[in-house]
Amino acid sequence: MERKTKAALVIGGGIAGIQAALDLGDMGIEVHLIEKKPSIGGRMAQLDKTFPTNDCSICILSPKLADCFRHPNITLHTLSEVKGVTGQRGDFTVKLRKYARFVDEEKCVNCGDCAAKCPVKVPDEFDLKLRKREAVYPYYLQGVPAVMTIDRENCLYLTRGVCKICEKFCTREAINFEQKDTDVTLDVGAIIVATGFDPYDPSGIPEYGYKRYRNVITSLEYERLICASGPTGGHLLRPSDDKPAAKLAFVQCVGSRDLKNNRYCSTVCCMHATKEAMLAYEHNPRVKSYIFYMDLRAAGKGFQEYVSRGEQEYSISYIRGRVAKITEDHNESPIVWYEETQSSKTEKLTADLAVLATSLMPRRDVEELGKVLGVELDEYNFFKTDPLNPLDTTRPGIFVCGCCREPTDIPKSVTQASGAAERAAETMMR
């Protein structure tokens, strides 16, 4: 009997979705990879380095981005959203909304002449609003596809009918304001969901003073600050006065293991705090870091050794105690108040910068996606799975991997992605 080979759909162009798409593509299966943002890469592209090897994140991600882009079996759909899914395992009909980029992907060479002339300045989402960008912009420097995008919310032509300066300066004639949003229908046999996470907003814990104190930042903001392609060119400078930060306080479990917020452990924070402290030390050996933790969770290949290296070689002090509150001194230096649980004493520590290890949470719009896909979410809004079928959602033929399933580090996301790809392929070959 002739085997029915359909295409597969992967939702989410982060490291998990990319790996799943590559694996399926390599098996000879046609894949549609859907990404809401203008470029694929996801959260991993925002990180400076990865634990436990301290590899440059974008350096190990970039080859995969390029592979995805060039793969004969993978079709990228950026600026796209899934609007409807009907059918069943082996025979789904997916409605896709593709939003106009207003830039011709075939013509644009990413030279940046348009952005250099665009008069609009808005906070850059990729750099967590730590810098401003133009209304015509590359989502990030190494983004794939490597083309510009016009931000319809802020473009003066699209909002007010004036300007069009970019069009006049584009020598490739790649700017196209005539582009329209389009609806596409895809027939697929299986779906993999890999939509990732959003970080917890620590304004929800007012005692930590996030947004009130300028030198209290989140881990993801820290990743951008210490990244060479980030808003400060990799210099770890205090937001309040642009002075180098030499004494760092890492506050763990911000929004995680917290009865008022998320009860679960976000699993990656002990390790990324260790990594972030190491990076600061590598930039400047006079940096002294303190990591305030409840329990140090180093369960993973090479993780415990990584923590030991942090203590021995990178001058990191691990202090067991949950931070009660953060105040600031006259220099706007954060003062971290905590109970040192080994001595049961209340102590304080003044640092140059406090870094909040914010919880990994389901995407804010995940409920809508859950409804569109017709799958159940768990009590925290992660995709519901079964312990013995850990990559299957509640709807047959739809699989899940990475941080939309539960907080997951990069190696495990990749592992799950390969597993989900195999599950999807199996479904389609049936």
Partner 1 sequence: MEEIKSFKDLDREVVEKGICGKCGGCVSFCSAGELNALEMTENDMPRYINEDNCQKCGICYMICPQTGTLNVELQEKFGWKPPIGDYQKVTSAQTTDKKIRKICTDGGVVTSLLLYLLERNLINGAIVSKKAGRFTRKAVIARTREDLIEAAGSTFSGSLHLEELGGKYTTYTPILSTVKSLEKRYLQDVAVVGTPCQINAIRKMQCLGIIPAHLIKFTIGLFCIENFSFDDVARERLEKKLDINLESIVKLNIKDDFIITMTSGVTIHVPLEEIDDVARTACFACQDFSNEYADISVGGLGSPDGYTTTLLRTKLGSSVYDEALHRGYIQERTFEDSEESKLEKTKMMAKIVSYSRRKRMRAEKKLSKLAGGEMLGEKN
Residues that bind partner 1 (CB under 8 A): 117, 119-122, 132, 135, 154, 156, 160-165, 168, 240-241, 332
- Of the candidates 250, 255, 37, 220, the one whose C-alpha atom is nearest the C-alpha of residue 130 is 220
Minimum separation from the CB atom of position 36 to partner 1 (A): 23
- Three-class SS state of 265: coil
Residue nearer to partner 1 on the CB measure, 187 or 241? 241
Q: Are 177 and 158 in contact (CB under 8 A)?
A: yes
- Three-class SS state of 27: coil
Minimum separation from the CB atom of position 78 to partner 1 (A): 24
- How far, in Å, CA of 214 to CA of 86, rounded? 48
- Of the candidates 161, 249, 178, the one whose C-alpha atom is nearest the C-alpha of residue 213 is 249
Residue nearer to partner 1 on the CB measure, 63 or 161? 161
- How far, in Å, CA of 337 to CA of 373, rounded? 45
Minimum separation from the CB atom of position 430 to partner 1 (A): 53
Longest dimension (CA), the chain: 78
Q: Are 274 and 306 in contact (CB under 8 A)?
A: yes
CB atoms within 10 A of CB 155: 20
- Three-class SS state of 368: helix
DSSP 376: -
Residue nearer to partner 1 on the CB measure, 60 or 122? 122
Minimum separation from the CB atom of position 163 to partner 1 (A): 5
Minimum separation from the CB atom of position 135 to partner 1 (A): 8
- Of the candidates 109, 118, 120, the one whose C-alpha atom is nearest the C-alpha of residue 169 is 118
Residue nearer to partner 1 on the CB measure, 212 or 301? 212
- How far, in Å, CA of 404 to CA of 359, rounded? 13
Minimum separation from the CB atom of position 242 to partner 1 (A): 8
Continuous segment of H or E residues that includes residue 88? strand 80-88
Minimum separation from the CB atom of position 238 to partner 1 (A): 9
Q: Residue 160 contacts by C-beta under 8 Å, 6 or more apart in sequence? A: none
Minimum separation from the CB atom of position 107 to partner 1 (A): 20
Minimum separation from the CB atom of position 156 to partner 1 (A): 6
Residue nearer to partner 1 on the CB measure, 81 or 151? 151
> What's at 185, amino acid-wise?
T
- How far, in Å, CA of 298 to CA of 14, rounded? 24
CB atoms within 10 A of CB 264: 18
Continuous segment of H or E residues that includes residue 335? strand 334-340
Residues in the chain: 430
Backbone φ and ψ for 122, nearest 5 degrees, come out as -135, 155
Q: Residue 308 contacts by C-beta under 8 Å, 6 or more apart in sequence? A: none
Minimum separation from the CB atom of position 240 to partner 1 (A): 6
Residue nearer to partner 1 on the CB measure, 65 or 225? 225
Residue nearer to partner 1 on the CB measure, 146 or 237? 237
Residue nearer to partner 1 on the CB measure, 125 or 386? 125
Residue nearer to partner 1 on the CB measure, 240 or 327? 240
Residue nearer to partner 1 on the CB measure, 160 or 180? 160
Minimum separation from the CB atom of position 100 to partner 1 (A): 18
Residue nearer to partner 1 on the CB measure, 161 or 387? 161
Look up residue 168 and give its two tokens: 């006049």
